[in-house]
Amino acid sequence: MENISDQPLYCLLGEKIQNSLSPSIHNAFFKYHDIDGLYITLNVDALNLKDTLKLLHRLNFHGANVTIPYKESIMQYLDSFDPLAKEVNAVNTILNKNNKLIGYNTDVDGFMIPINKQIQNLNTKTVVILGAGGAAKAVLHGLANANCKDIIILNRNLERAQNIISALDSNISVSCNVLNQQNIDSLSNIDIIVNTIPLNSTNTAFTFGPQLGIQLAYDLEYIPKETNFIKQMKILNADIIYGYEMLLSQAKLSFQIWTGLLPDNASIDNMILSILGE
C-alpha cells in the first residue's frame, strides 16, 4: 500500500467541518489537472492547533485551508504572510514552502468575484453586513476596496464590530449596530445585504421586510443551497448570490497558490451543485 505521506497532502483546518465541500472541490481540481494530490479535513481542537501545524511540517503537507474559528488565531504560528492577509489580519490559505508556512487570504477576492459579475460599480451602493467574524472582515475589506458608498455592520457583539471597523484603513462610511430584529426593521434603502453568519445551521431566525429595498442578497452560508435567508430574499425579489459561489471562487484561488494553476472547469461547478441537490 502506498504510504500516504508520499503523496502531496492538503487539508482543511477547523472545527465541525465534517460536512465541508472543500475535499470534493479540491480533489476534483487535482483529478481534472492530473495532479497527484489528496485533500482531507482535519477537525482540530484549539488547544492542539499549534501541535497540528508542527505535524503538518513533518508530514508531506503542501498546503492547507483554514476556516472557523481559526482564521485569526492561527496567524501566530505562521512564518510569514502575503500583504492582503496582513491587511485583513486573517488567513484562510497556507502554503508550505521551503519548510516555511506562509499565510494568504483568498476570502477577499473569493467574495468579490461573484459580486463583480453582477455589479460593476459599487460606489453608489449601500451594503449591510450581518456578522463581524473572520469572514465579515474579508467582506468588509473587499467592499471598502471597491469604494462602496456606505457599509452598515450588524453584529450581536457590538464591540467586535467596532474593532473590525477601527482596524480598517479606509475613508469610506462604515457604521455598526447590534444585530437584532428591531435594528433590522429600522433599515431602508439597502442595495445589498451580505450574510456572514450561520443563521441556518444555528436555527437563528430574522425577518427581512420589503421596506429594506434589497436589490442583491449574498449568503456565505452554503449548506443547504436554499437557506432560510435565501428563501426570504427570493420572496423580496432580490437577486441572489449563493454561498457555494464564494466557496468555489476562494477555493480556486487557494489551488492556484498551491499549484500555480487556476481551475476553470464548469463541470466541477456542476458537480458541487449536484452535491447540494440541484
For residue 80, give every residue at least 6 positions away whose Cβ sits within 8 Å of its Cβ, in sequence order, or none: 100, 102, 103
DSSP-based three-state secondary structure for 101: strand
Active site residue: 31, 71, 231, 252, which one?
Answer: 71
The C-alpha atoms of residue 121 and residue 138 are separated, in whole angstroms, by: 19
Annotation marks residue 71 as catalytic: yes
Going by C-alpha positions, the residue among 16, 124, 118 that lies closest to residue 67 is 16
Taking each helix axis as running N to C, give the angle between helix 107-118 and helix 243-259, from 0 to 180 degrees, rounded to the nearest 10. 130
* Amino acid at position 38, single letter: L
What residue has cell string 455592520? 153
Neighbours of 205 (CB within 10 A): 11
Q: How far is CA 30 from CA 64, 248, 259, 260, in A?
A: 14, 14, 10, 12
Residue with cell 449536484: 274
Which residue numbers are catalytic?
71
